[in-house]
Structure formats: C-alpha cells, structure tokens
Amino acid sequence: MRLTTAQALVRFLAGQYSERDGVEQRLIPGMWGIFGHGNVAGIGQALLQYRDEMPYYLARNEQGQVHAAAAFAKMRNRLQTFACTASTGPGSTNMITGAALATTNRLPVLLLPSDMFATRSPDPVLQQLEDTRGGDVTVNDAFRPVSKYFDRVTRPEQLIPAALAAVRVLTDPVETGAVTLCLPQDVQAEAYDWPEEFFRRRVWHIGRPVPEPEAVERAVALLRGAEKPLIVAGGGVVYSEAERELRAFAEATGIPVADTHAGKGAVPWDHPCAVGGIGSTGTSAANALAAEADVVLGIGTRYSDFTTASHTVFGNPDVRFVNLNVARLDAAKHSAEMVEADAKRGIAALHEALSGWQVDDAYRARTRMLADDWNRKADECFHLGHGPLPAQTEILGALGEALDDRDVVINAAGSMPGDLQMLWRARDPKAYHVEYAYSCMGYEVAAGVGAKLAAPDREVVVLVGDGSYLMMSQEIVTMVSEGLKVIIVLVQNHGFASIGSLSESLGSQRFGTSYRYRAQDSGQLDGGRLPVDLAANAESLGATVLRASTVEEFTAAIATAKANSTTTVVHVETDLFGPNPPGSAWWDVPVSEVSELESTRKAYETYAAAKRTQRHYL
C-alpha cells in the first residue's frame, strides 16, 4: 500500500488497541498538535486525510498538549494516551518539559517532534540548530534523557520497527513514559510501499505479572514478625485498580494505610485503616506511625523525597521494607524484600499468604486515635475564621464540602499540593489528581483538558495558583473551543506562598517570591501591588468568571460553577502568609553553610540538626 510515512504512522496508530482484564480500547484515540512548516504538509496532511479515524485536537502551546495527554493517560490508568505532533525547532522543544513530566510520573505519551531534513538539501532550514560538533545533532536530541524510547525515522521503512517499539514501551507498565519519534519533515511526506499487515488491528495486552511464590514467602515471613507494620500506598495501586484488594487486605490485617499523592483515594480518607498522606507534607497520624514502624510495606510507590521526608520519616532503627512493585527499580529501594508484581495480583497473594494474621488490638486502636486526632486538626484548618483575606485551607475546606465523591481535583505545584496531601478527603481513586513527581507549574489548566476528555462524566476542578496561571493558562481557550466544562479555581495571593514560606524557613527572607513593582527607593521588587487582574484575563479567554472574596462567596460561586455547563473560573484572593496546616516532617533543602546574614546562619543551625536525622535504609 503506497502511503507517505506520515499517512502510514497515523493509520498504524489508529489500529492500536490496549487490553486489560478483558476490556479493549483504542490506545491512541486522537492526536494533539500545532502545525508549522515541519508538520503541516506531512502529519498535518495525514490527519486531514484520516480525520475520522484519528481525531485532531488543536492546543495553544505544545507543552500544554503533552500535559493534556499525560493527564488523560493518568485518568485512564495508563491504558490510553494521546499522540502529540509539533513543528520543527521551538514547537518541538516546547514539548520537552511535558516529556520529562510524563517520564517522571511513569505516564505514557507519544511525542512526534518534527525534525530537520533527512536529505539536508536546503540546510540550514528555518529553526535548525547548526552544531559544529556533528551534522546529525538536532534540537530534538534534547528529548533523549527524558524519553523512555527515542528514535529518529530518517527513512520511511524505519517507521515499522520504530512504531512497534514505541507502542511496546507505551503499553509496558514498567517501562512506560514519554516515547519520542522524531520525524524529519521531508520523510513525513515521502511515499513508500507498506505491507498491508502493518496496518492490521493490533491488541497490546497490558499484563498483570504475578509474584513468585518464594518472594511472597519471604515478604510474608517479615510481615508476620511485625508488630507495627505500615502500608505506603502509591500510584501503582491506582493504576492497577487494586483499591478493592488493598481495602480488603488492610481490613483483614489491620495494617494502617498511608498514602502518597499518586495513591490518595485508593483507600477512602475515613476508612478505619486510613491515616492520610505520609512524609514532608504528611499528616501527624501517618508520620507518627512511620516513626515507629518496624516493617513498611510500600505498594506501587517510588519513595520520592516527599514520601520519605528526605529519608527521615521512618525512624525505627530496625525498620525493614517490603516493596510490592511492578518495576524492579522501585521494588529494590531501601534494601527491601522485593515482590515484583502487579499491585492487584500482588496484594491478593500477600493477603492469602497472611490469612488469619493481624495486628494486635492496641495497634488498631492507636491507628484510630492518631487518625481521629489528625482529622480534628484538619477540621480546624478548614474553619479558621482567618481575615481579612481567607486562608487557603479554608478555601480547600469549602471546596471539599461542595464537591461529590467522584469529582476530580487537579493540582501540581505551589503551596496547594502540600495542603492537599495533608487535608484533602478523597473517597475515589480518580478524584485526587495531583501531579507531584515533576510538580510542574503550568500542568494544572492543560491537565484539566486531558482529564475532562478522559472523564466527561465527572466534574473536573482545576486548582491553580497565580504563579502557575501566569505560566500556562492558554489551554482555557482549548477548553472553550472543545466545549469542555471544567471549573478552574484560581487562587490569587500575589506571589509564591509555597516558596515564600520555604524561603523564610531557610533564612532567605522570602526574597523575590512576591509579585511587586520594583520600588524606587530600595531598587528591589518590594514596591506596591501590581495592577494585574487575572479574572479579567480568564474572561478575555472565553471563560465564565466568578469573583469571590470570602469563604461564603466562594461556596456560592462553586455552586454556580457546578450548575454551569461551560468552562467557569472561580477567582478567589487568599492570604499569602497562610496560615499553613501543621507540618510534622522535614524536607531536605540545603541552606548556605556560610553567610553574612543572621537569618541564614540561624537557619543553617536548624538545617544541620535536621540533617543528622537523615539516614540510608540499608
């Protein structure tokens, strides 16, 4: 069959399906893109020709389209994703941050950056990097370290192995992440005689690897000897749809369950074994149990520094780890007894092997006591009566009360992830969508697009700070044009509440963390407040905008937003200075060892003391 390389790729992708638990779905149900000279006549022509088989979505920024694809994949538990086409040069390199986000979060996205001419006949083409060290270097080589598979299709027939390898990696729960196929602009348009079988319907089975019986035995031997075990539930539990198994296992054994951002919601916040978020922004309950735990059972977690409080949260000198993970990379962390398996199958195997065993009543009672105590603290954060501007925790409290169990909240960076990790009361594994592996400012709004496309039957609520909004809010236009009803809660505090408070705690006096005029007298950015109106900005992009200045107004605005059928932004101003919810763990951010500033010297003393509690789990 004679087709161009671009036509062949689009047709091939339209024929790829994923399957798990007997359910088949299109692996790539559409392609995002922004056209330029690098793809308009190649992939662009193919998308026009096959517009019924491969729907096209127009983004406003190439980074945004990758975030939308990643959010879609996250909502669909990695069983589906989008492809993303971009023009040569800046269009393509705009996708690099999105690629890093996807790979760090272990989320599949297929990226198709356009590349310079394979023939090199018109070199240097517009937007081509001319590297004196090598003729084959292009800006797209920057995708290599952030891609789990990278290829450059410099001849049409190379597409066959490259496309198959791409899909192999996208559908592998261990390897998955950003997959990048660079497509030189001339090769995209070049014709070739393709074998018909390349385009046949192909189903990729997404496996559920079972644990080795010996590995289960070793893990269970350790767990049986535990007096104070603790489960850390990560994203692997959610992606594997193992929430029922985890709840049953926790109920039967009485092992308390702490969660990471990616694992939140797998066990409902008010489940008798739930103790909430763990680590640097964890609850006092989870962190108290972590401090004593003798065996930690990590399920589907990558143990980021926020989860381990930079290797300080697990305080028992004899603590041992059992890690159930599909990826050996994660299973091996902290010298664990490894159970390499799918979370759903692995939990079931551990449950069976541990049948009849449970923690003692005193430990169950202590878990409840700590969780109840934390829940009272959280209630206080929700009802501070703070003024004149509301505290962010009050806004989160009001939002939580207004939303239903299946409604999705999205967030990624700033002070909100920490507040949410401690305070958010999720009951559904897909209701809490916080990207906290790359914590990328700018993910939020774009992710709202992808999440709503993945779950049109759910209310999707994007929480975004003013800093993140200023970085990337352009996909509001995409929401409007696609008719996607998303609620965006825009939290305006005129700067970085997060990094401001971090800066203060590290002795850096909030330097450079608020949005102010440069003052005439000081010459610094500490002048008056800027005349910025982000609500008007959102309105100008086509959203319906509601302004709230009190908690009561905010609650009313959310009710209106829920009743609306179009993209609605709720703008609320909050206090830049918190107060923050009560922290109970550390985060390792190095402080200058020598300084002229008293604030830095004092912070260094505190830092040095905390640093002494950090350890390797060997």
- Which residues of this chain interact with ligand TPP, rule CB under 6 A? 413-416, 439-442, 465-468, 493, 496-499
At its nearest, how many Å lie between ligand TPP and the CB of residue 421? 13
Decide which of Mg ion, ligand TPP, none touches 419; Cβ closer than 5 to 8 Å per partner kind.
none
- What is the smallest separation between the CB atom of 135 and ligand TPP, expressed in angstroms? 33
419 by Cβ neighbours in 10 Å (0-12 / 13-18 / 19+) ranks as buried
Partner from Mg ion, ligand TPP, none contacting 413, C-beta within 5 to 8 A by type: ligand TPP
Contacts of 218 (CB under 8 A, 6+ apart): 337
CA–chain centroid gap for 577, Å, is: 26
| Residue 396: CB minimum distance to ligand TPP, A | 11
Phi, psi of 332, deg, nearest 5: -80, -10
Select from Mg ion, ligand TPP, none the partner in contact with residue 64, using the beta carbon and a kind-dependent cut-off of 5 to 8 Å: none
Q: Determine, following the binding rule CB under 5 A, whether residue 88 of this chain makes contact with Mg ion.
A: no
Q: Which one of the spans 130-138, 295-303, 420-428, 489-497 is the region binding Mg ion (CB under 5 A)? A: 489-497
Q: Does 493 bind Mg ion (CB under 5 A)?
A: yes
Region 443-482 residues binding Mg ion, contact defined as CB under 5 A? 465-467
| Residue 291 to residue 315: CA distance in whole angstroms | 4
Q: Which residue has the tokens 């001339």?
A: 186
CB 587 within 8 A of CB 308: no
Distances (CA, A) of 493 to 393, 415, 453, 515, 583: 13, 11, 30, 9, 21
Residue 279 interaction partner, one of ligand TPP, Mg ion, none, beta carbon < 5-8 Å per kind: none
Q: Which is nearer to ligand TPP, 370 or 488 (CB)?
A: 488
Retrieve residue 322's tokens. 């059992």
Mask: binding to Mg ion, 392-431, rule CB under 5 A, as x and -?
Answer: ----------------------------------------
Chosen from Mg ion, ligand TPP, none, partner binding at 468 (C-beta under 5 to 8 Å by type): ligand TPP
Instruction: Give me the least distance between CB of 66 and ligand TPP, in Å please.
Output: 13
CA distance 498 to 573: 15
Q: How far apart are CA 112 and CA 34, in angstroms?
A: 11
Q: Are residues 467 and 495 in contact, defined by beta-carbon separation less than 8 angstroms?
A: yes
Sheet with 202-205: list strands edge to edge: 23-26, 16-20, 202-205
Kindly state the smallest distance separating residue 512's Cβ from ligand TPP, in Å: 10
Q: How far is the CB of 434 from Mg ion (least distance, A)?
A: 16
Could you say which of Mg ion, ligand TPP, none residue 441 binds, taking C-beta under 5 to 8 angstroms by partner kind? ligand TPP
User: DSSP letters along 516-545, please?
Assistant: BPPPTTT-SS-SSBP---HHHHHHHTT-EE
Phi, psi values for residue 427, rounded to 5°: -120, -10
Contact 486, 459 (CB under 8 A): no
User: CB 443 → Mg ion: shortest distance, Å?
Assistant: 15
> Whole-number minimum distance, CB 534 to ligand TPP, in Å?
10
Nearer to Mg ion, 157 or 511 (CB): 511
Query: Which is closer to ligand TPP, CB of 404 or CB of 533?
Result: 533
For residues 30 and 467, which CB has a smaller minimum distance to Mg ion in the complex? 467
Can you give the length of the chain in residues?
618
CB of 446 to ligand TPP, least distance (A): 12
Nearer to ligand TPP, 57 or 469 (CB): 469
Q: What distance in Å separates the CA atoms of residue 125 and residue 137, rounded to the nearest whole number?
A: 14
Choice between 194 and 496, CB closer to ligand TPP: 496
d(CA 141, CA 564): 45
Residues 304, 282: contact at Cβ < 8 Å?
no
Q: How far is the CB of 489 from ligand TPP (least distance, A)?
A: 12
Phi, psi of 187 (to 5 degrees): -65, -35
Which pair of tokens denotes residue 365?
A: 């009672």
Is 559 in a helix, a strand, or coil? helix
For residue 564 the two structure tokens come to 């609306």
Using a 10 angstrom Cβ sphere, with 0-12 exposed, 13-18 middle and 19 or more buried, the burial of residue 175 is middle
Q: Would you call the peptide bond into 581 cis, given omega within 30 degrees of 0 as the criterion?
A: no
Q: Which is nearer to Mg ion, 337 or 466 (CB)?
A: 466
- Considering the complex, state which of residue 331 and residue 545 has its C-beta at the smaller distance from Mg ion: 545
We find the least distance from the C-beta atom of residue 178 to ligand TPP, in angstroms, to be 17
Q: Which is nearer to ligand TPP, 269 or 436 (CB)?
A: 436
29 vs 467 by CB, closer to Mg ion: 467
Nearer to ligand TPP, 323 or 492 (CB): 492
Handedness of CA 48, 167, 18, 4 (dihedral sign): positive
Instruction: Please say whether the beta carbons of 256 and 224 come within 8 A.
Output: no
Q: Closest distance between ligand TPP and the C-beta of residue 414, in Å? A: 3
3-state class percentages of the chain: helix first, strand second, coil last, to nearest 5: 40, 20, 45
Q: How far is the CB of 500 from Mg ion (least distance, A)?
A: 8
Residues whose CB falls within 8 Å of the CB of residue 524, separated by 6 or more in sequence, listed in order: 518
Nearer to Mg ion among residue 7 and residue 574 (C-beta): 574
Positions 370 through 389 that interact with Mg ion (CB under 5 A): none
**Which residue lies nearer to ligand TPP by CB, 73 or 441?**
441
- Contact footprint for Mg ion (CB under 5 A): 465-467, 493
